[in-house]
Amino acid sequence: MNWVVWRQHRIEFLIAVMVFILFTITAVTIGSPSVQGATNVVNSGLSQNETLHAPLFLPMQILPLLLGIFIGAPLVARQIETGTFRLAWTQGITRQRWLLTKLALVGGITLVLFVLLDLLGNWMDQSVNAALGPFTLFDSQGVIYIVYGLFALALGIAAGTLLGKTVPAMAVTILLFLVIRLGIEALRSNYLPPLQFTWNFVGAFPHSQNWILGGFLANSAGSPLPPNSIAQACGPIPLGTSGLISCLTANGFQQVFIYQPASRFWIFQGIESAIFLVLTAGLVLLTFWWLRNRVE
């Protein structure tokens, strides 16, 4: 059974290995950007993702989805479409063992490849973390990237099993992955209640590594400033000049920031990983139940 599964999917596996080799060569060629380089990006106002990781960051974010589309969705759907699954079930192999063998082999190889890709991402991101904080490239480091891969694979397999047709399963995988992935990402800042700190514009910015969620200008008592307060107090001073900073300081104005501290990075990684692992386990159980009770 293992040999049959390998023969059925050996081309996809070889392509996955080639993709990993390509990513590794690109990463080694580019190298991990320096801390100074990451800091310069912030000072220039450019996007961190676009400037430092453009050759790898976006492709790495797409890889889990491609895994679900081209390996997960056809894994069962193709055999249901062609009816070849019946041949396996008449050879003394139960439905559960047939699916379990596929999941074990494909899932195991997926896990190994995504662990290696995650290690590659962690190496690429280390200097960015030192300059900008770990939340800047949250999705490509820690353990969450591995979990994204397993979730995408389980989603594709479940869609293929329930629909029984490869192309519709691919379309559903794309839609659901994007909706769930982006939906949970939108909730990320609320995993724990955010904190606040006040900056009086004196000295270097003290929280450059934290995840800044927003903020507002306040008076010396910490109350938000009413509209046009700065214009009334400081006059027509161009934004960003030292004169404006001096005026804000002289009037006791402060900037209140809402943020998640960098120390919560691993807590957030654990929370989001747990969410996706629960969804992955649910999809696997649904796949086994559907294959056992609904596929004839």
pLDDT above 60: residue 32: no
> Which tokens hold the place of 152?
């995408």
Q: How far apart are CA 155 and CA 153, in angstroms?
A: 5
**Comparison of pLDDT for 86 and 261, the residue scoring more:** 261
Q: By the 8 A CB rule, do 43 and 132 touch? A: no
Among residues 238, 227, 69, 77, the alpha carbon closest in space to that of 164 is found at: 77
Mean pLDDT of 261-282: 96
Express each pLDDT in 157-195 by its tens digit. Answer: 999 999 989 999 999 999 999 999 999 999 999 999 999
Mean pLDDT of 202-224: 80
Per-residue confidence (pLDDT) for residue 92, from 0 to 100: 64
Mean pLDDT of 193-206: 82
Burial environment of residue 207 by CB neighbours within 10 A (0 to 12, 13 to 18, 19 or more): middle
pLDDT above 80: residue 134: yes
Q: How confident is the model at residue 35 (pLDDT cuts 50, 70, 90)?
A: very low
pLDDT above 90: residue 268: yes
Q: How far apart are CA 277 and CA 271, in angstroms?
A: 10
Q: What is the DSSP letter of 232?
A: H
Residue with tokens 């910015």: 205
pLDDT above 80: residue 50: no
Express each pLDDT in 107-121 by its tens digit. Answer: 888 898 899 888 888
Per-residue confidence (pLDDT) for residue 230, from 0 to 100: 73
Measured at the CA of 119, the angle between CA 113 and CA 124, to 5 degrees, comes to 125
Give domain limits for the chain: 2-192+265-293, 211-260
Per-residue confidence (pLDDT) for residue 11, from 0 to 100: 73
Residue with tokens 């939906």: 183
Q: How far apart are CA 275 and CA 18, in angstroms?
A: 30
Amino acid code (one letter) for 228: N
pTM for the full predicted model: 0.83
Mean pLDDT of 20-37: 65
Most confident stretch, 47-56, 61-70, 90-99: 61-70
Express each pLDDT in 225-246 by its tens digit. Answer: 877 777 777 777 655 566 777 7
Among residues 54, 48, 62, 50, the alpha carbon closest in space to that of 30 is found at: 54
Per-residue confidence (pLDDT) for residue 101, from 0 to 100: 84
Longest CA pairwise span in the chain (Å): 85
pLDDT above 60: residue 2: no
Residue with tokens 């386990």: 281
Question: How many C-beta atoms surround the C-beta of residue 3 within 10 A?
Answer: 7
Q: How far apart are CA 183 and CA 280, in angstroms?
A: 16
Q: How confident is the model at residue 31 (pLDDT cuts 50, 70, 90)?
A: low
Measured at the CA of 161, the angle between CA 157 and CA 164, to 5 degrees, comes to 125
Beta strands in 167-292 (DSSP E): 195-199, 211-218, 254-260
Inter-axis angle of helices 57-67 and 95-132, nearest 10: 170
Do the bridges between strand 211-218 and strand 254-260 make them parallel or antiparallel, or are there none, so unpaired?
antiparallel
Question: How many C-beta atoms surround the C-beta of residue 184 within 10 A?
Answer: 15
Mean pLDDT of 143-164: 94
